[in-house]
Structure 1
Amino acid sequence: MNAVEIEQAITDLAEQPFDRAEFPYAFLEAFGNKATTIKRLRAGASNKSDLGGVLQTSNIHILTCDAGRVTQTLAALKASPATAKAKAKFILATDGTDFEAEDLTSGETVACAFEDFPDHFGFFLPLAGISTVRQISENAFDIRATSRLNRLYVELLKDNPEWGTAERRHDMNKFMARLIFCFFAEDTDIFVGKGRFTETVAQMSARDSSNTHEVLATLFRAMNTKRDDRAAARIPRWAEDFPYVNGQLFSGGDEVPRFSKIARSYLLHVGGLDWTKINPDIFGSMIQAVAEDEERGELGMHYTSVPNILKVLNPLFLDDLREKLEEADDNARMLLNLRKRIAKIRVFDPACGSGNFLVIAYKEMRAIEAEINRRRGEPDRASEIPVTNFRGIELRDFPAEIARLALVIAEYQCDVLYRGQKLALAEFLPLRNENWITCGNALRLDWLSICPPAGTGVKVQADDLFRTPLDQAEIDFENEGGETYICGNPPYLGSRWRDKEQQDDLAALFAGRAPSFKDLDYVAAWYLKAADYLHAVPDCCCAFVATKSICQGEQVAMLWPLIFGQGLEISFAYRPFHWSNLAAANAGVTVVIVGIASARSSKKTLFEGDEKRVVDSIGPYLIPVGNIIVQKAPRPLNGLPRMDYGNKPTDGGNLILDRATKDGLVAARPEAARFIRAYVGSTEFINGVPRFCLWVEDKEVDDARLVPEICERFENVRKLRAESKGQQANANADTPHRFVFAPHRSGSALIIPRVSSERRPYLPVGIVDDATVISDRAAVIYRPETWLLGIVASRMHLVWIATVCVRMRMDFSYSNTLGWHTFPVPTLTEKNKADLTRCAEDILLAREHHFPATIADLYDPENMPADLRAAHERNDEVLERIYIGRRFKNDTERLEKLFDLYTKMTASAALAKGKKRKAGANA
């Protein structure tokens, strides 16, 4: 469950008659506990309470009580030995009238009337595994409003299914935007009298809801009619007090969907909320899910925290503005110049969604402007920052509408905060007619036409602020001069998750500029579009949230040369961090933030966690080593042995056997045993899963075919390969006993799984004998010297792989040509090799000591055996002393050294290649 769903379940519980015996179970169910869990608690199997309540281990102890005894009951829960023994995080007591609870970890408490406990649902979210509790608690209203609007939306579509069709979707979206504005306006005195809109609907519409749509249509028509024209428009007296809103919000027709009694009830309930608490920067990103069919199932998961947004905006330009404010102190002239500069800054989000980044940027800039006005003795001065300077592009209709509305609401809230409600109200209505959020495909639109260079006049005509055409190319207002900052959180979408239209977007943008681009994440297209824009508009900077994979592996070589080739550089960056949402137990995504700007000599800023470093340069791998890009090497550049991928069957599963199949075949046909070998790939090696394969040499084929079961499998392989569209499979159809790629050699082999979890402190690696066939899901070095294991199993190699190879979600994807053949290693002496051999042997012996534990067991970061960890530590120390004579301080220092060596290694290889070519020419 996510936060919105939990809030709704808790609200429903609070509205039901209080059942003392049932409440604890209903409460736990509201936080996502499964029916089986509740059943075990009811039966007493997992209920550890010693007070007759319900105690869930490591979670909560709940006890209902007689009237008036809530405080004493909470004290008893806290003193209970069972509470401590079960490590309960929360205690809760209620009598159905009062409600008290305590977080035993933080000491925070809740005490309220029973019907009000849903207001504190964020307090209990750890019970559902949700970690973003602070942000949710601070924005509880937005979650509650989203939940209520969603119920209204779904109910309306039941009775008005045509409003959910593609043809009417815009009408439904605009209707919802109008309601949100009215709810906000009635609670903030924009409409005279708090709750006036909701009260009018309640009074003028029949209880059976038969005319609710007509009442709303009349109110919307009034808000679209100037006062002088209302008599002619026959606006009834009961709607006269509602102001003319303009801004095209109420234009374009006043049709309203029909309401059922339930829908009318929901509407009044939503209007009864306190809309003064709305947070436009948060609310917008959540409410957009209401109107998106594919997102409604994840309602509430679109929260983007303000601190995360500020990770983009602060280093992009806000920190500089604050520094200039600090420098100006009380100097009136410097303050005036800064205010003029701020008024001309444009913030452009070409994937703006519902406007989070734009709203936060606007509010932060208004705060700086307000401080300037305070220092200059002009606290009531009207803002010179136009919301039309906060421009966006959004593909979907409803989020684009919400983005405009969110900025309008943010403008009003800032006016109230900095100038007072009287002045804010006097200047708020009518709304502007300008359109500054474009609805369209950002990768197909010309950004220069939407946010043009300073001093360039362009026009976008739109007959409706809340409806803009895809092909719009002009804006009918322009702000002379000033800087432009591009920002946002574009869609990520790896190659496997894109539809055809999105693939075509990339092709249209990258074709002719990059030989390979299909494996790039979708977000890379926004960087290239931004680079084109920055190339044309020098006084501009950009920063996006992106998948970390655009700064890892093969994507680096595909994307970043195109960026750097336009005279741009990385100006600041956040190394990978977790970008989470409001869902329980959410996986979130690991992201980076990368800022780009025109190349200049100023210092760059690199962020990692809470650490901030000022550096001379930031490379595409987000380390301070310049614009070095690691390229695939078909042969080792480092003097180490060549690494291959393992043996590839392309057999439809006919050459591979699980243990049961293998045992059954050998029992029935003992002569088959000589053709069966152990078969090991990533999963088999790491998790100890036994698998086998048929391995038949050419000289043994006739003997193998005498076994009917094997002969049948060969025939299946032949048919599959013959019918395959793959050239490699076709070419091997006549040799079905052989793997299509079979580098297997006699002797031992060093195995490295191609996919392994990044949670492990070291890469899993091992040595197997030639009775084992290594699959193509692993990499292999045949007949290795033992010291090679010490290199592959080192921290040095792990951080290199983590940086230059691709990541698959939370896993490393090991590459021989990108990760091993390029790995920089100093020249090793015989003593170095002997020392590393002893270290490798110690690692292998430590593993054997814990037999039959699997690699997964041994390298669990929380349960790694002490002797194995110590063996790895010794190995790391020996290897790192070979590099620099001491241990490295951290991974960043390791990478800086590795990239320095890589630069020297590739330069030497290029020089040697040049000399060889020259010698060949002279010959």
Structure 2
Amino acid sequence: MNPVEIEAAVSDLASQPFVKEEFPFSFLQAFGNKETTIRRLRLGESNKSDLGGVLQANNIHIAVAPPGEVTKTLAALKASRATTRAKARYILATDGVDFEAEELESGETVVCAYRDFPDHFGFFLPLAGIATVKQIRDSSFDIRATSRLNRLYVELLRGNPQWGTAERRHEMNLFMARLIFCFFAEDTGIFSRTGLFTDTIEQMSTRDASNMHEVISEIFRAMNTKIIDRPKAKLPRWADAFPYVNGGLFSGNVEVPSFSKIARSYLLHIGNLDWTKINPDIFGSMIQAVADDEERGALGMHYTSVPNILKVLNPLYLDDLRAQLEAAGDNPRMLLNLRKRLSRIRVFDPACGSGNFLVIAYKQMREIENTINERRGEHGRKSDIPLTNFRGIELRHFSAEIARLALIIAEFQCDVLYRGMQLALSEFLPLSSDNWITCGNALELDWLSICPPTGTGVKFNADDLLSTPLDQAEIDFENDGGETYICGNPPYLGSTYQSTQQKSELQAIFDGKTSNWKSLDYVAAWFMKAAEYGKHTNATTAFVATNSICQGQQVPILWPLIFETGHEIAFAHTSFKWTNLASHNAGVTVVIVGISLHPGKVRRLFSVGADQSVIVKETENINAYLVAGRDIIVKKATSPSAGFARMEFGNKPVGGDLLLTREEVLELGLTPDQRAQFVRRIYGSAEFIRGEERYCLWIKDDQLDEAIQIPSIRQRIENVRAMRMASKKSATRSIASQSHRFGEVRQIGNEILTIIPSVSSESREYLPVGLAPAGTIVSNAAFALFDAPLWNMALIASRLHLVWVATVCGKLKTDFRYSNTLGWNTFPVPTLTEKNKADLTRCAEDILLAREAHFPASIADLYDPESMPSDLREAHERNDEVLERIYIGRRFRNDTERLEKLFELYTKMTTSTKPTNTGKKEAVK
């Protein structure tokens, strides 16, 4: 469950009659507990309570209190030995009138009336596996509002299906945006009195809601009518109380969908929320799913945390502004210059969604500007920072409208905070009709026309800008000498998941630049557009992106093109999880990359340490793999380093009848001698990792005459021959005469194998590698070293090798995709002494012995990060300790440091002269 679903369930529970016997179970169900879990608690199988309540281990201890004894009961829960033994995180007591709860670790409490406990549902989100941060708890209102808006939206579409068609969907979205403005305006003083909109609707509409659409339409008409024109408009007296708003928000068509009694009830409930608590930082991203059928199933998961957004904006330009503010101190002239600089900065998000990045950027800049005003003794001064400096492109109408509305709300809130309510209200209405959020396809539009480098004034005004799809953002303004910062979180979409339309967009952008564009993630197009834009204006760009654009095959395709425009990597944040609000959601692994034509002498590289702290490294250059060092592209190598065993692909069957399950082996009806002679155990990735049994026919040429005397084997060989003869590939047909053999054979069959799966899960801390005895066959779904010294396995099993493979080989979906030519043949290792090899051999033996101690557990079982046996983990730690001391005399602090050393050694391996950190670009073969 996600927070919106949880809020709806909690609100339903609070609105129903209180049943003391059922409350604990209903409460746990509201937070996503399954029926089987609830049943076990009911039966007492898992209920650990010693107070007659319900105690769920590692979660919560709930007790229903006698009337008036809630505080006393909560104290008893806290003192309970069962609470301590079961490591309960929360305690909760209620009598159906009062409600009290405590988070035991922090001591934070909730005390409220029972009917109001849904207001605090964010406090309990960890019960649903959602690791909350302060921003999420503070966003409880936004989640509640989103939930109710979604119910209203769905109910309105049920009664007005024509409003859900493509032709009218935009009208429906605009109607929802108008409602949101009204709810906000009636609670924040923008309207003449609190509750004006909701109260008017409740009083003037009938209970059956038959005239509801007419009442709302008249209100909207009033807000589109100037005061001077109202006598002619003949507005109802009750509608005349609403101010003139316009600004494009209420202009044009004011038709309203019809309401049912249920829809009327939903609207009144929404209006009765406290809209002063709205947080435009995240509200837009919460509700953008309301208007999208495909996304509504993920409602409430579109949360982008402020700290994550600041990971982009701070190094992009906000850190520099704050440094300049600190340097200015109380110097009036320096402060004035900084304020002028602020007024000319443009922030441009070409995939702005509902405006999160733009809203955060605006609020952060207003905070800096206010500090300047305070230091200059100009408290309450009108802001010099125009909203039109915060531009965006968004494909979906509703999100574009919400982005503009979120910025309007943010501006009002900043004015109230920094100038006072009276000044904020006096200048808020009517809204400006400028519209600076373009609705369109960012990859097909000219960014320079939407966010031009210089100019004067607003060129385009319209009465209904929110419904104008493309030419709505032709705003120009005095900005000579200003800076442009491009930022955002564009859609990622790997090549497998791109639509035909998206592939054509990629082709249009990269056509003539590279023929390998089909391998690129969709987000690569935004980087290329930004680099082209940067050639014409003073712009710096930072995007959130999948880490795959800085790994493997995409690096040599994309980054040389970016560098050719003159851009360099100015700063970067290496891989981290960009999470949303779904319960137990690990989030997608992303990077942040900032590019600029003028990156400065010192670049900053951010990474996440083992304790989740952010480590900042200053360096002269950051390469395309997001490593501090020279701009090197790792190329495939045909052979490994001297002294290393050669790694080969496994054998390719080219004919399924050569492969056998355990049952199929039995069906062959072979004698023990025949089975030993013609049947071998075969391993690919799945067989090695999950321990699956699979066999193959392995018939040498000098054994063929004997083999075909066995009818069951002869039939399988005939099936392979027929399959190969029927192939459209001439190469396949050419091996039909040798249908007793694998199509591609790379081993004799009596070697000891070191097996390396070609694909393995990214969740594992080490790459799976292991030994198979002589007589084993490896398939083309894995790689193998044949009769290799055991210290080779120690290298592959190391953390060093995993981070190298993850960086230079890339991924298949999210899994590691191994490559012998990129991963093994290029792996940089210092010269190993015989003692080094002996020490590493012992480490590999210890790893194998630790695995053997847990037989018959599979590699998948043993290397599950949540349940990896301690002795196996210790064996790997010793292996890493020994190997990393060979590299630098100590353990590496983190993966960033590992990669820096590996790239340093790789440079030495592939160049004849000793490199220096000059920052100059080169491609090393």
| TM above 0.5 | yes
Counterpart of 1:657 in structure 2 is 660
Aligned-partner SS, 1:515: coil
Moved more, 151-160 or 181-190: 181-190
Q: Deviations over 1:48-72 (max 9, x none)?
A: 2222222222222211122111112
Counterpart of 1:574 in structure 2 is 573
State how 1:4-43 maps to structure 2 within 5 Å.
Answer: 4-43=4-43
Moved more, 694-703 or 301-310: 694-703
Counterpart of 1:805 in structure 2 is 809
TM-score (norm. length: structure 2): 0.94
Counterpart of 1:266 in structure 2 is 266
Counterpart of 1:683 in structure 2 is 686
Aligned-partner SS, 1:231: helix
Q: Alpha-carbon deviation of 1:909?
A: 11
TM-score (norm. length: structure 1): 0.94
Q: Deviations over 1:384-432 (max 9, x none)?
A: 1110000000111110010011111111111111111111111111111
Counterpart of 2:898 in structure 1 is 894
Q: Deviations over 1:719-756 (max 9, x none)?
A: 55555566665555554443333212332222111223
Identity of aligned residues (%): 67
Q: Alpha-carbon deviation of 1:635?
A: 3.0
Q: Alpha-carbon deviation of 1:769?
A: 3.0
Question: Structure 1 residue runs of 4+, over 6 Å off?
Answer: 667-670
Counterpart of 2:563 in structure 1 is 564
State how 1:584-603 maps to structure 2 within 5 Å.
Answer: 584-603=583-602
Counterpart of 1:501 in structure 2 is 501
1:626 to 2:641 alignment: no
Moved more, 838-847 or 83-92: 838-847
Counterpart-to-counterpart distance in 2, 1:362 and 1:110: 33
**TM-aligned CA distance change 1:424 to 1:898, over 3 Å:** same
**TM-aligned CA distance change 1:229 to 1:638, over 3 Å:** farther
Moved more, 71-80 or 585-594: 71-80
- AA matched with 2:44: G
Counterpart-to-counterpart distance in 2, 1:152 and 1:714: 66
Counterpart of 1:915 in structure 2 is none
Counterpart of 1:917 in structure 2 is none
Counterpart-to-counterpart distance in 2, 1:165 and 1:701: 68
Counterpart of 2:339 in structure 1 is 339
Q: 2:760 aligns with which of 753, 756, 760?
A: 756
- AA matched with 1:330: D
Moved more, 898-907 or 711-720: 711-720
- AA matched with 2:694: R
Runs (5+) with no aligned partner, structure 1: 912-923
Q: Does the CA contact (< 8 Å) of 2:602 and 2:619 recur in 1? A: yes
Counterpart of 1:200 in structure 2 is 200
Q: Deviations over 1:80-131 (max 9, x none)?
A: 2322222222221111111111222222221111001111111111111001
1:228 to 2:232 alignment: no
**TM-aligned CA distance change 1:195 to 1:313, over 3 Å:** same
Q: Alpha-carbon deviation of 1:247?
A: 1.2
Counterpart of 1:738 in structure 2 is 741
Counterpart of 1:104 in structure 2 is 104
**TM-aligned CA distance change 1:8 to 1:716, over 3 Å:** farther
Counterpart-to-counterpart distance in 1, 2:49 and 2:893: 49
- AA matched with 2:66: D
Moved more, 555-564 or 389-398: 555-564
**TM-aligned CA distance change 1:871 to 1:198, over 3 Å:** closer
Aligned-partner SS, 1:441: coil
Moved more, 873-882 or 725-734: 725-734
Q: Alpha-carbon deviation of 1:225?
A: 1.4
Counterpart of 1:825 in structure 2 is 829
- AA matched with 1:390: F
Q: Does the CA contact (< 8 Å) of 2:769 and 2:793 recur in 1? A: yes
- AA matched with 1:386: P
Counterpart-to-counterpart distance in 2, 1:650 and 1:216: 70
The two structures, once aligned, show a CA RMSD in angstroms of: 2.4
- AA matched with 1:840: A
**TM-aligned CA distance change 1:470 to 1:671, over 3 Å:** farther
- AA matched with 1:527: F
Counterpart of 1:784 in structure 2 is 788
**TM-aligned CA distance change 1:82 to 1:910, over 3 Å:** closer
**TM-aligned CA distance change 1:286 to 1:713, over 3 Å:** farther
**TM-aligned CA distance change 1:608 to 1:760, over 3 Å:** same
Counterpart-to-counterpart distance in 1, 2:714 and 2:512: 50
Q: Does the CA contact (< 8 Å) of 1:638 and 1:823 recur in 2? A: no
Moved more, 622-631 or 45-54: 45-54
State how 1:5-404 maps to structure 2 within 5 Å.
Answer: 5-404=5-404
Aligned residue pairs, count:
909
- AA matched with 1:683: A
Q: Does the CA contact (< 8 Å) of 2:393 and 2:400 recur in 1? A: yes
Aligned-partner SS, 1:157: helix
Q: Alpha-carbon deviation of 1:592?
A: 0.8
Moved more, 296-305 or 738-747: 738-747
Counterpart of 1:920 in structure 2 is none
Q: Does the CA contact (< 8 Å) of 1:823 and 1:902 recur in 2? A: yes
1:644 to 2:684 alignment: no
- AA matched with 1:586: N
Q: Alpha-carbon deviation of 1:613?
A: 1.8
Q: Does the CA contact (< 8 Å) of 2:433 and 2:462 recur in 1? A: no
Counterpart-to-counterpart distance in 1, 2:49 and 2:681: 52
Q: Alpha-carbon deviation of 1:22?
A: 1.0
Moved more, 449-458 or 302-311: 449-458
Q: Does the CA contact (< 8 Å) of 1:445 and 1:471 recur in 2? A: no
- AA matched with 1:207: R
**TM-aligned CA distance change 1:544 to 1:10, over 3 Å:** same
Moved more, 130-139 or 383-392: 130-139
Aligned-partner SS, 1:20: coil
Q: Alpha-carbon deviation of 1:557?
A: 1.3
Aligned-partner SS, 1:91: strand
Moved more, 872-881 or 11-20: 872-881
Q: Alpha-carbon deviation of 1:708?
A: 4.3
**TM-aligned CA distance change 1:17 to 1:731, over 3 Å:** farther
Aligned-partner SS, 2:906: helix
Counterpart-to-counterpart distance in 2, 1:179 and 1:700: 82
Counterpart-to-counterpart distance in 2, 1:312 and 1:840: 42
Q: Deviations over 1:21-48 (max 9, x none)?
A: 1111111111111112212222222222
Q: Deviations over 1:495-526 (max 9, x none)?
A: 11111111111111112112312121111111
Counterpart of 1:695 in structure 2 is 698
- AA matched with 2:661: D
Counterpart-to-counterpart distance in 1, 2:575 and 2:424: 42
Q: Alpha-carbon deviation of 1:811?
A: 3.4
- AA matched with 1:137: R
Q: Does the CA contact (< 8 Å) of 1:249 and 1:466 recur in 2? A: yes
Counterpart-to-counterpart distance in 1, 2:348 and 2:433: 19
**TM-aligned CA distance change 1:244 to 1:657, over 3 Å:** same
**TM-aligned CA distance change 1:458 to 1:552, over 3 Å:** farther
State how 1:408-427 maps to structure 2 within 5 Å.
Answer: 408-427=408-427
- AA matched with 1:902: Y
Q: Deviations over 1:191-245 (max 9, x none)?
A: 1110101111111111111110111111111111112222222222211121111
Q: Does the CA contact (< 8 Å) of 2:436 and 2:472 recur in 1? A: no
Counterpart of 1:916 in structure 2 is none
Q: Alpha-carbon deviation of 1:701?
A: 4.3
Q: Alpha-carbon deviation of 1:455?
A: 3.8
Moved more, 829-838 or 772-781: 829-838
Q: Alpha-carbon deviation of 1:436?
A: 0.6
Q: Does the CA contact (< 8 Å) of 1:572 and 1:618 recur in 2? A: yes
- AA matched with 1:879: L
Moved more, 70-79 or 702-711: 702-711
